[in-house]
């Protein structure tokens, strides 16, 4: 296929995508006041949660499948290009401080590698081979999950990642913002959050990016809830890696137990700062080593560990 015919085919594909549609009613947007443009954008954004809500059954089914795989040692891997890839990298990078996961447990792959997080890497998104190589570098197994992310649903990197992962037997999820997408069709779990044309034609970092962020928030957060990384709505696996998080750790222990400042400090000191362990020492009246053993026996689930002590 010649370069000209390839470009023509790609242009024809884009013209069929909802996310790429031109909106003539907004052709004079640059002549509006800043406040009016802001109102337009805000109105556009308000439709995104409803689009996500329409896909909640598919999202929940995917989360249950991810939690089952991760519960037996699997990893969660995001793969995307451009904005979609950056959102995956962002979500993955926030899991260690929030849920005390190892950085290898939730991984964000972006077409073009780490440099592509801050700069465009020409042609990277068009390579399915690059996606396969990136997954092979992780030594992907059938215990893992790969989430391909693409607003258009046609990005070769995201589709290539899902197809390669599915061939290995890994769980696959395809997150797109167009109906009938190749990405959703390639995955075991297809999630298509259709947010409609963008304020700026084809600028899918806007509504489509917001929708992807909301879904990724759900995927990681609810999976971690299912894995026992929380106690109620408290982040009991938080990693206290800075002063703010150390203060948060003390507050979480106090909220979970009703303990005063002195008892909270003693419990955290006895458990090397592990919030979940500290809570267990207070609520179950056990020492640090016993709390650690109980949590290990319960697979890290604080409620199960408490039940084992009769609490």
What CA–CA distance (Å, rounded) separates 204 from 150?
A: 9
Q: Is 20 a catalytic residue?
A: no
The Cα angle at residue 139 between residues 212 and 218, in degrees rounded to 5: 20
C-beta separation of 174 from 184 below 8 A: yes
**Cα separation, 281 vs 269, whole angstroms:** 11
Alpha carbons within 13 A on the beta-carbon side of 208: 32
Within 10 Å of residue 80's Cβ, how many Cβ atoms?
A: 30
Catalytic residue (choose from 68, 94, 263, 265): 94
Q: Which of 58, 105, 125, 163 is catalytic?
A: 125
> Cα–Cα distance between 204 and 211 in angstroms, integer?
10
Residue 262 annotated to the active site: no
Instruction: Please give the Cα distance from 52 to 135 (Å, whole number).
Output: 28
* Cβ-contact 302, 228 below 8 angstroms: yes
d(CA 153, CA 307): 45
Number of continuous H segments (helices) and E segments (strands) in the chain = 14, 5
Q: What residues pair up with 147 in beta bridges, in sequence order? A: 78, 173
* Structure tokens, 244: 């703010």
Which residues pair with residue 79 across a beta bridge?
109, 148
How many CB atoms sit inside 10 A of residue 76's CB? 27
C-alpha torsion 183→66→143→224, nearest 10: 130
Catalytic residues: 94, 125
């Amino acid at each position: 296929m010649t370069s000209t015919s390839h470009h023509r085919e790609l242009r024809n594909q884009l013209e069929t995508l909802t996310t790429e549609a031109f909106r003539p009613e907004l052709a004079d947007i640059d002549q509006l006041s800043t406040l009016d443009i802001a109102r337009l954008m805000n109105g556009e954004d308000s439709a995104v949660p409803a689009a996500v809500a329409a896909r909640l059954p598919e999202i929940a089914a995917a989360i249950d499948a991810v939690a089952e795989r991760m519960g037996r040692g699997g990893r969660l891997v995001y793969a995307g290009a451009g904005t979609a890839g950056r959102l995956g990298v962002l979500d993955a990078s926030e899991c260690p401080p929030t849920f005390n996961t190892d950085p290898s447990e939730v991984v964000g792959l972006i077409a073009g590698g780490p440099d592509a997080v801050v700069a465009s890497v020409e042609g990277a998104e068009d390579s399915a081979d690059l996606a396969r190589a990136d997954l092979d570098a992780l030594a992907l197994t059938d215990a893992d999950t790969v989430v391909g992310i693409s607003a258009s649903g046609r990005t070769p990197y995201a589709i290539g990642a899902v197809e390669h992962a599915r061939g290995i037997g890994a769980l696959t999820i395809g997150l797109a913002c167009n109906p009938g997408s190749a990405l959703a069709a390639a995955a075991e779990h297809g999630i298509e959050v259709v947010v409609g044309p963008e304020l700026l034609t084809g600028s899918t970092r806007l509504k489509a990016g917001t929708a992807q962020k909301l879904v990724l928030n759900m995927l990681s957060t609810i999976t971690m809830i299912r894995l026992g990384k929380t106690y109620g709505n408290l982040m009991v696996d938080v990693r206290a890696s800075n002063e703010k998080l150390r203060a948060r750790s003390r507050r979480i222990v106090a909220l979970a137990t009703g303990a005063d400042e002195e008892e909270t400090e003693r419990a955290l000191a006895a458990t090397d700062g592990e919030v979940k362990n500290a809570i267990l020492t207070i609520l179950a009246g056990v020492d640090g080593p016993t709390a650690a053993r109980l949590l290990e026996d319960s697979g890290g689930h604080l409620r199960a560990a408490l039940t084992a002590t009769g609490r």
